[in-house]
Amino acid sequence: MAWKNQSFPARLKYALHGIAQALRSEQSVRLQAAAFVAALVALSVLRPRPVWWALVLLASALVVAAELLNTALEELADHLNPQEHPRIRLVKDCAAGAVLVAVLGALGVALALAVQLLRE
- Asked if 23 and 16 touch (Cβ cutoff 8 Å), the reply is no
Whole-angstrom Cα distance, residue 103 to residue 86?
Answer: 25
67 is a catalytic site residue? yes
Q: What element of type H or E holds 3? A: none
Contact 15, 40 (CB under 8 A): no
Distance CA(53)–CA(45), nearest Å, equals 12
The DSSP annotation for 7-68 comes to -HHHHHHHHHHHHHHHHHH-HHHHHHHHHHHHHHHHHHHH---HHHHHHHHHHHHHHHHHHH
The catalytic residue positions are 67
